[in-house]
């Protein structure tokens, strides 16, 4: 098993390549092991997928359960693991800093912090507060004895504020605050992605699987994207097949879905 330092160095090196890399999102240990065996180079957790595996809604899982999940994933795979940390489990920079330390202690070598508060009356942190939170997280990451890649997320497009200028200003503030990777989930057009990439000098992550985003991995790489994730996409794809099969059995009493099933679950893990 690779050491955390080896995983951290590998993860940082992936972001330094000119070719974008895929970082798929498993939602449990089994899917993490399968993705490693399929040849992927790094993994990222999915908050929505993990929450669903527990029968909970996204952003409702507590920090203790998430850290147990991260510990299990990191121990099961030689791949670097980055963690979706939502808003860092608190408003204050000190809380976000402690969350980064706990994430590293669980075995991860990366994590993302977003600027969405989860509060209806105030959905986004102000620019200054958001940047201070990123700064605290970055300082925590730099204090570790191994490389830790901090991703700062600008959530405008996911939560009803499709303002590219504000999104770019936020990402620039997060870059200045020490973020290693920048991420604006929800941007989908070539023009939006090009503007973001040109506006910053950190690796940019793009979320695929959203309506309107038709660019493939090579095309994203050619316009300067360095990392591509799928969020809850793989979990939703699996659940789509599950629900379709269940409905066929319940509504038609037929079992044609079995022709698309893998022959052996255990075989995927060998």
Instruction: For the chain of 270 residues, list the mean pLDDT of each consecutive stretch of 10.
Output: 97 97 98 98 98 93 98 98 98 98 98 96 97 98 98 98 98 98 98 98 97 96 98 97 98 97 89
CATH number for 106:
3.20.20.60
Classify residue 258: in a domain, yes or no.
no
156 in a structural domain: yes
User: Is residue 179 assigned to a domain?
Assistant: yes
Pinpoint the alpha helices (H) of the chain. 4-15, 29-37, 47-53, 63-76, 93-105, 127-142, 164-176, 190-199, 217-222, 233-252, 265-269
Asked, for residue 256, whether it belongs to a domain, the answer is: no
Q: Identify the pLDDT of residue 265.
A: 87
Cα angle for residues 65, 69, 73 (degrees, 5° grid):
170
Domain count, the chain: 1
Domain that holds residue 75: 4-231
| Residue 243 included in any domain | no
pLDDT at 46: 98
């Amino acid at each position: 098993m690779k050491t955390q330092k080896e995983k951290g160095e590998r993860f940082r090196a992936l972001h330094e390549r000119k070719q974008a890399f895929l970082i798929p999102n498993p939602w449990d240990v089994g899917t993490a092991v399968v993705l490693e065996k399929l040849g992927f180079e790094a993994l990222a957790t999915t908050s929505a997928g993990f929450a669903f595996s527990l029968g909970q809604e996204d952003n409702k899982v507590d920090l203790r359960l998430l850290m147990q999940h991260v510990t299990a994933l990191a121990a099961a795979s030689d791949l670097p693991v980055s963690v979706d940390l939502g808003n860092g489990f608190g408003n204050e920079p000190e809380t976000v800093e402690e969350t980064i330390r706990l994430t590293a202690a669980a075995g991860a070598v990366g994590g993302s912090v977003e600027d969405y508060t989860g509060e209806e009356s105030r959905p986004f942190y102000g620019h200054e507060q958001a940047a201070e939170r990123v700064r605290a997280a970055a300082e925590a990451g730099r204090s570790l004895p191994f490389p830790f890649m901090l991703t700062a997320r600008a959530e405008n497009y996911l939560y009803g504020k499709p303002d590219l200028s504000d999104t770019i200003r936020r990402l620039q503030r997060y870059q200045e605050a020490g973020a290693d990777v920048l991420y604006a989930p929800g941007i989908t057009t070539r023009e939006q992605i090009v503007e973001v990439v040109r506006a910053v000098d950190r690796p940019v992550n793009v979320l695929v699987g959203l309506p309107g985003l038709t660019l493939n991995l090579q095309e994203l790489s050619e316009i300067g994207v360095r990392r591509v994730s799928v969020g809850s996409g793989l979990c939703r794809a699996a659940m789509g097949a599950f629900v379709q099969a269940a409905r066929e059995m319940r509504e038609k009493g037929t079992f044609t879905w079995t022709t698309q099933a893998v022959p052996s679950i255990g075989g995927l893990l060998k």
